[in-house]
Amino acid sequence: MSFSELISPLIGRLALAWFFLSEVYSLARDWDGQVALLTFANLPAAPLLLALALLAMSLGGLSLLLGFHARHGAVLLFGFTVVATVLMHDYWHLKDAGARAADYEIFARNIAISGGLLMIVGMGAGPFALDNSGQKKKR
């Protein structure tokens, strides 16, 4: 197994974990603003939805960070990301071209992140993960 095959899954997992965990921190620090944003998007029970989102992103992010049940964490984050993206970044409804373009950029970024999460679902956490700590090396 080449060096890139060994290290790439780890770096990819860490990058995705950083993205989600830093978002948890940012969203939690602006609780009231995020509840207002969810309310403005006509989503019911905004505080509960935000709490569930932070929980999903925290659990999924930690799962990726540690490589512990990484496939489950990636599925959780994939589902959350797709649902949140469609609900919060429906750029196709925006009339203003600038706002539509900006929201499309966020939509496209989130779909790309979802693709990376599916790679973890399909290929696993890689060799440097708690999921693989008890396995013997293949020769």
Separation of CA 27 from chain center: 13
Give the pLDDT score at 136. Answer: 62
Domain-by-domain residue ranges, the chain? 3-130
Instruction: Phi first, then psi: give them for residue 138, nearest 5 degrees.
Output: -80, 145
Give the pLDDT score at 6. Answer: 87
Give the pLDDT score at 114. Answer: 97
Instruction: Phi first, then psi: give them for residue 128, nearest 5 degrees.
Output: -95, 75
**pLDDT tens track, the chain, 139 positions:** 888 888 999 999 999 999 999 999 999 999 999 999 999 999 999 999 999 999 999 999 999 999 999 999 999 999 999 999 999 999 999 999 999 999 999 999 999 999 999 999 999 999 999 988 777 655 4
